[in-house]
Amino acid sequence: MPIINLLDEVEIKKKMTGFLRFDRIDKPKDTIPKIDKAFYDFSKMDFTAYDNAIKQAKKIKEKGDATYLTDPTMKNVATTILSVAIPDKSSIKKRANRKKINFKEQFPEKLKNLFDEHFFFVQLKIPKQNYYHFIAYCNPLGIEELYKNKKQLEILKILLKESKSYLLLLEKRE
């Protein structure tokens, strides 16, 4: 949506000819400073001070120097520089939780692909709309762990046994 500004009065201090090419000639050049391309070139930057600080911290730590043991600021020199790359326990826990959640979300599809849709919907006679509910019904019996341990035969036995009680439960609900 365009924004419209109405001006009451406009004052032009420079005499204009009406031809843009001629009117621009007397205009001063752009006053915004330009950044040189070399400004972004980090290959010429000197990192020796950073490297030397890391080497010095390692030497002090290896020696067991009294300065390292008594100066409270020296104890953190190596850890602050190096700890950037080491993940903390909370990020490891978050990653593990995310992995568990992803597995739980994908498990029903993986199980359906393992035994084929025909098995669930024709042999077990589980209605398609109740497939996820049936998997949740069988889940307390440890089918997820059995799947992780690649014990398909045991999963098959559980599914065959539980499908009968599940279908009875569905009949009672109707």
10-60: per-residue pLDDT in tens? 776 667 666 666 666 655 555 555 666 666 666 666 777 777 878 877 776
Q: pLDDT tens digit string along 155-165?
A: 999 999 999 99
Q: Residue with structure tokens 């398609």?
A: 128
Confidence of residue 115 (pLDDT cuts 50, 70, 90): confident
- Residues 121-146, mean pLDDT to the nearest whole number: 91
Same domain, yes or no, for 131 and 167? yes
Q: At residue 109, what are phi and psi to the nearest 5 degrees?
A: -70, -40
**Tens-digit pLDDT profile for residues 53-71:** 788 777 766 665 555 555 5
State whether 115 and 169 are in the same domain: yes
Q: What is the mean pLDDT of the chain?
A: 77
Tally of CB atoms within 10 A around 138: 19
Domains in the chain, number: 2
Host domain of residue 160: 89-173
State whether 108 and 154 are in the same domain.
yes
Q: Examine the fold and report which residue of 57, 82, 107 is the final residue of a domain before the chain moves on.
A: 82
Q: Is the pTM of this model over 0.85?
A: no
Nearest to 127 by CA among 77, 157, 166: 166
The more confident residue out of 119 and 24 is 119
* Mean pLDDT within 113-140: 90
Helices then strands (H, E): number in the chain?
Answer: 8, 0
* Residues 95 and 64 both lie in one domain: no
Give domain status of residue 163, yes or no.
yes
Same structural domain for residues 166 and 134?
Answer: yes
- Whether 105 is covered by a domain: the verdict is yes
Q: What are the helix (H) ranges across 2-150?
A: 20-23, 48-63, 66-70, 77-82, 89-118, 131-138, 143-148
